[in-house]
């Protein structure tokens, strides 16, 4: 039974933020003194499992766990192991997660054992001092140890880097060579106007069309039809033999092929990352032992998924396009 939105798009990809908490405070994502959600508002691991299972029964084939940082959620591996039954049954094609890598040294082996085949690691710089500056709390050596552990466990890794003018734009060619040299794909992402942060995003914003032109002075980039189910458009880099993805929510939205919805750790379903339109699934989840109310609430929400988003980095008001922080919806 597939979920089809008003524009004929099948919704086959669910991203689930399992926590809004994180052990980093990346400057483009969070304020340093973030106020986190009260724990009572959070869905339990059992509730998250139940919700995900209903989505899988309704046609979701790819499930990505995000955060905050998913691996700081207490007992998160219990949820991963529970969800892996859908991989074994064939109902789910892929179970994956996006992580900052800080806890991978602890969990890489368990993730691989649970049927996770690949993960995304967010990493914006290979300079330890710059890394600590942009994450405020993070340590690069710990992330590198995590990447080592993940590769030893056989996990495929894609490096996600946010392109930030004046911070890492000059370094991105080196990060690309490093990632491809270790057999990892890489994706660059435009910074998005979400949530009040301490920095001025208009200074950080780097259109990826500009970045691509810069990269093409050093590399031969060929567009390829490769897809992983998300919004990245890929090129092959002749000099490294690896793949590079571009995610461009600002300069070129990719809404026409959108196949995904996002669930927060409080049970709010966002039909679009760039819109405030949402549906509360926690109430129907908790109102009944059965899943009929929940299923109906999901159908109602998918029935009003918007055609697309209109991100603008606004130079006049300097207000974010979307008031919630990225850490709430999960990237």
CATH of the domain at 98: 3.20.20.70
Distance CA 70, CA 35 (A): 17
Confirm or deny that 165 is annotated as ligand binding: no
Domain that holds residue 204: 13-329
Along the 331 residues of the chain, how does pLDDT read in single tens digits?
A: 689 999 999 999 999 999 999 999 988 788 888 889 998 899 999 999 999 999 999 999 999 999 999 999 999 999 999 999 999 999 999 999 999 999 999 999 999 999 999 999 999 999 999 999 999 999 999 999 999 999 999 999 999 999 998 999 999 999 999 999 999 999 999 876 556 656 565 677 888 889 999 999 999 999 999 988 778 999 999 999 999 999 986 656 667 788 999 999 999 999 987 777 799 999 999 999 999 999 999 999 999 998 887 655 454 555 555 555 555 555 5
**Residue 36 CA to chain centroid, in angstroms?**
19
Confirm or deny that 272 is annotated as ligand binding: yes
Confirm or deny that 61 is annotated as ligand binding: no
State the pLDDT at residue 29.
81
In a domain? residue 4: no
Whether the CB-CB separation of 245 and 185 falls below 8 Å is answered with yes
Beta-ladder partners of 137: none
In a domain? residue 93: yes
Torsion of CA 221, 227, 232, 234, to 10 degrees: 0
Confirm or deny that 265 is annotated as ligand binding: no
Confirm or deny that 98 is annotated as ligand binding: yes
3-class state of residue 147 by DSSP: helix
Confirm or deny that 77 is annotated as ligand binding: no
State the pLDDT at residue 100.
97
State the pLDDT at residue 315.
46
Confirm or deny that 62 is annotated as ligand binding: no
Confirm or deny that 243 is annotated as ligand binding: no
Confirm or deny that 234 is annotated as ligand binding: no
In a domain? residue 1: no
Confirm or deny that 15 is annotated as ligand binding: yes
In a domain? residue 235: yes
How many independent structural domains does the chain possess? Answer: 1
DSSP class of residue 164?
B
In a domain? residue 73: yes
Confirm or deny that 52 is annotated as ligand binding: no
In a domain? residue 8: no
Rg of the chain (C-alpha set): 19
Confirm or deny that 28 is annotated as ligand binding: yes
Confirm or deny that 44 is annotated as ligand binding: no
Alpha helix (H) residue ranges in the chain: 45-57, 76-89, 104-113, 128-135, 140-152, 172-181, 201-204, 208-215, 282-287, 292-302, 326-329
Residue whose C-alpha is closest to residue 267's, from 13, 8, 14? 14
Query: 165 to each of 54, 118, 145, 206, 281, how far by Cα in Å?
Result: 42, 29, 28, 5, 38
In a domain? residue 5: no
In a domain? residue 7: no
State the pLDDT at residue 313.
47
Question: Which residue has 């597939």 as its token pair?
Answer: 2
State the pLDDT at residue 227.
87
Distance CA 331, CA 3 (A): 22
């Amino acid at each position: 039974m597939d979920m089809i939105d008003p524009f004929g798009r099948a919704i086959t990809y669910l991203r689930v933020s399992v926590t809004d908490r994180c052990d980093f405070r990346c400057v483009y994502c969070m304020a340093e003194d973030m106020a986190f959600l009260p724990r009572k508002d959070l869905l339990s691991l059992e509730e998250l499992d139940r919700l995900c299972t209903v989505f899988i029964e309704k046609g979701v084939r790819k499930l990505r766990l995000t955060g905050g940082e998913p691996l700081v959620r207490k007992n998160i591996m219990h949820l991963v192991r529970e969800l892996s039954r859908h991989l074994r049954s064939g109902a789910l094609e892929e179970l994956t997660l996006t992580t900052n890598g800080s806890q991978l040294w602890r969990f890489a082996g368990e993730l691989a054992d649970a049927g996770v085949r690949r993960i995304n690691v967010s990493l914006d710089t290979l300079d330890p001092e710059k890394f600590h500056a942009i994450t405020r709390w993070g340590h690069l050596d710990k992330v590198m140890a995590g990447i080592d552990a993940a590769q030893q466990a056989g996990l495929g890794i894609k490096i996600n880097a946010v392109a930030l003018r004046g911070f890492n734009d000059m370094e991105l060619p080196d990060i690309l060579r490093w990632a491809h040299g270790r057999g990892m794909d890489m994706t660059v992402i435009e910074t998005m106007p979400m949530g009040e942060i301490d920095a001025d995003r208009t200074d950080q914003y780097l259109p990826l069309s500009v970045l691509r032109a810069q990269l093409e002075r050093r590399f031969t980039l060929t567009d390829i039809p490769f897809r992983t189910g998300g919004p990245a458009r890929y090129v092959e880099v002749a000099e490294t033999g690896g793949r590079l993805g571009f995610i461009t929510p600002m300069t070129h939205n990719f809404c026409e092929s959108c196949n995904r919805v996002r669930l927060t750790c409080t049970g709010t379903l966002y039909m679009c990352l760039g819109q405030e339109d949402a549906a509360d699934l926690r109430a129907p989840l908790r109102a009944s032992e059965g899943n009929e109310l929940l299923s109906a609430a999901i159908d109602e929400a998918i029935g009003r998924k918007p055609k697309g988003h209109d991100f603008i980095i606004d130079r006049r008001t300097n207000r974010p396009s979307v008031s919630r922080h990225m850490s709430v919806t999960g990237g």
